[in-house]
Chains A and B, each alone.
Chain A
Amino acid sequence: MQTIEEILAQHDFFRDMDPVYLKLLAGCGMNVRFDPGDYLFREGEPANTFFLIRHGQVAIELYDPRRGQLPIDTAGENEVLGWSWLYPPYKWHFSARAVSLTRAIAMDGKCLRDKCDADHDLGYDLMRRFALIIIDRLQATRLQVLDVYG
């Protein structure tokens, strides 16, 4: 069976990361599993985790009182989900629901924040990786709101 450290090392998000940091980060990770319909997190709840999805698909949803839970994006295998743990007020902006059986590594964001505060090189490395994800999502969202097929 693979250790968390090995799984992290193989994940695109942590590609080429210093093995010393990987070992450190592995201490903040745990294997999790969600059945279809289970929520990984809900809007407004404390955000102290992020997820490396290993298998399955997750819908990112926004609640509309008139229309119910609206899927605004999806994340699947090999993607990273969640950055609200990085910035105050550390609360989820959206909800995330497993669409199919989902296996992931849940990383303890609070534990990571402490480690990043203690070692700024690690903090910078991690922030750079998250910035890339945030940029990708921002670009995709810009295209999405353009309504190009309209």
Chain B
Amino acid sequence: MVDQLFAPTITTAPAEPMLPEVFRIQRVVKESYDTFTLELEPDRGNRAFPFEPGQFNMLYVFGVGEIPISISGDPLHPETLIHTTRAVGTVTKAMGALKPGDVIGVRGPFGTEWPVRAAKGYDVVFVAGGIGLAPLRPALYHILAHREKYGRIVLLYGCRSPEDILFRRELEKWRARFDLEIYVTVDYASPRWHSNVGVVTKLIPKAPFDPLNTIALVCGPEVMMRFTAIELAKRGVRPDDIYISMERNMKCAIGFCGHCQLGPVFICKDGPVFTYRQMQGWLAQWEI
């Protein structure tokens, strides 16, 4: 188990956590047919927005609604706030229609972070499923910026099809490095696809890492995280060293409203990042 689960963060809780700040959209990047990235800057002033990898913001499309979205940008460049999401509901669809120059409300940053400081000296295995790569990207940026402090770095990424691969250009660039190994697998492929086919859990037995000295960061649909954690544990990674990012219906983001309660915890305040040991008993619970 890592010596210190969560090192002190450099971020501070927002002074007015329920009051959105106005940000202006600088750029919209279409990542795939249904996924997009928003790059935001504060509407007034040039204030940087410090955050820790794994944290999220509440984004408010004025007149439509507010939703939690993980930050997907580089924590070393907090002057631009970056979020990546899929257009699946009313708010995200409205968000996807926004253009550069439009404004959006931001509350945050909220929640716990990936243990990137505590993972120093360890092999770090990222396991991402679909859009789950977005919340992991800040941790990847952090670790690659301090590469010499870590052991082997492995990214296992599973998604629906080759067309759904997020951050493709960046993945190709990272793959060209000699100090990071990336394996991508898809559920459905055309004859033109020449890489892995199958669920992401299939990559775990073959991935090059030392299970007893590994910190695993897992993000994706809950069922994928559940089976990934089981497979990592089979390989010998301890449940305390497997971290997962949970998602629930978050409204206030500060543990008041209770919408995101899961057993004894509030996902917004006590999470979203938990150890597998903390969540193990709750992942397969019905009706919670």
Binding site for B on A (CB under 8 A): 57, 59-61, 67-74, 76-78, 99, 139-140, 143-144, 146-150
Q: How far is the CB of B227 from chain A (nearest CB, A)?
A: 6
B:199-231 near A, CB below 8 Å: 199, 201-202, 206, 220-221, 223-224, 227
Q: Assess A72 versus B220: contact at CB under 8 Å? Given A144-B187, A149-B130, A149-B159.
A: no
Say whether, besides A70-B189, A70-B191, A149 and B220 are in contact (CB < 8 Å).
Answer: yes
Indicate which residue in B191, B198, B220 contacts A74 across the interface (CB closer than 8 Å). B198
Complex Cα distance, B162 from A47, in Å, reads 31
Assess whether A143 is in contact with B199, with CB atoms less than 8 Å apart.
Answer: yes
**Is B129 positioned at the interface, with any CB of A under 8 Å from its CB?**
yes
Q: Count of chain B residues with Cβ under 8 Å from any Cβ of A?
A: 27
Interchain CB contact (< 8 A) of A68 among B191, B201, B220, B227: B191
> A59 contacts B160, CB within 8 Å?
no
Report chain A residues within 8 Å CB of B187. 144, 147, 149
Scoring A59, A68, A74 by chain B CB atoms within 10 A of each residue's CB, the highest score goes to A74
Q: A10 to B158: give the CA distance in the assembly, Å.
A: 30
On whether the beta carbons of A148 and B223 are closer than 8 Å, the reply is yes
**Are B191 and A149 closer than 8 Å at their CB atoms?**
no
Query: Do B206 and A76 have beta carbons less than 8 Å apart?
Result: yes
The answer, among A70, A77, A78, A140, for a CB contact under 8 Å with B198, is A140
A73 surroundings in chain B (CB, below 8 A): 197-198
A-B contact pairs, 14 of them (CB 8 A): A67-B191, A70-B191, A71-B193, A76-B206, A77-B206, A140-B201, A143-B201, A144-B198, A147-B160, A148-B220, A148-B224, A149-B159, A149-B220, A149-B224
CB of A97 to closest CB in B, whole Å: 9
Report chain B residues within 8 Å CB of A148.
Answer: 129-130, 220-221, 223-224
Interface flag for B261 (CB, 8 Å) = no
Interface residues, chain B, CB within 8 Å of chain A?
Answer: 129-131, 158-160, 164, 185, 187, 189-191, 193-199, 201-202, 206, 220-221, 223-224, 227
Alpha-carbon distance between A143 and B199 when the two chains are bound, in angstroms: 7
CB proximity of B115 to chain A, nearest CB, Å: 25
Identify the closest chain A residue to B193 (Cβ): A71
The 10 closest A-B pairs by CB, nearest first: A149-B130, A143-B199, A148-B221, A149-B160, A71-B197, A74-B197, A71-B189, A74-B196, A68-B191, A148-B224
Residue of B159, B189, B194, B197 with most chain A CB atoms under a 10 A cut-off: B197
The closest CB in chain B to the CB of A36 belongs to B194
Bound CA span A72–B221, Å: 21
Are the CB atoms of A140 and B202 closer together than 8 Å? yes
Contact A143 B227 (CB under 8 A): yes
A67 vs B206: C-alpha distance in the bound complex, in angstroms? 30
| CB-defined contacts of A67 to chain B, threshold 8 Å | 190-191
**In the bound complex, CA of A139 to CA of B199 (Å):** 10
From A71, A78, A143, B191 is in contact (CB under 8 Å) with A71
Partner of A70, one of B190, B223, B224: B190
From residue A78, how far is it (CB to closest CB) to chain B in Å? 7
Residues of B within 8 A of A99 (CB): 194-195
Q: Which residues from B are CB-within-8-Å of A69?
A: 191
Contact partners of B193 in chain A: CB under 8 A: 71
B129, B195, B196, B206 interface centre (most CB from chain A within 10 Å): B196
Q: A148-B220, A149-B160 are in contact. List 13 more A-B contacts (CB 8 A).
A: A57-B196, A67-B191, A70-B189, A71-B191, A71-B193, A74-B195, A74-B196, A77-B206, A99-B194, A140-B199, A140-B201, A149-B130, A150-B160
- B199 and A144 within 8 A (CB): yes
C-alpha spacing A76/B196, complex, angstroms: 9
Tell me, in angstroms, the Cα distance from A39 to B220 when the chains sit together: 35
Inter-chain contacts of A147 with B (CB < 8 A): 160, 187
Name the B residues within 8 Å of A146 (CB-CB): 223
**A149 to B188 alpha-carbon distance, docked (Å):** 11
**Residue numbers in A under 8 Å from B197 (CB-CB):** 59-60, 71-74
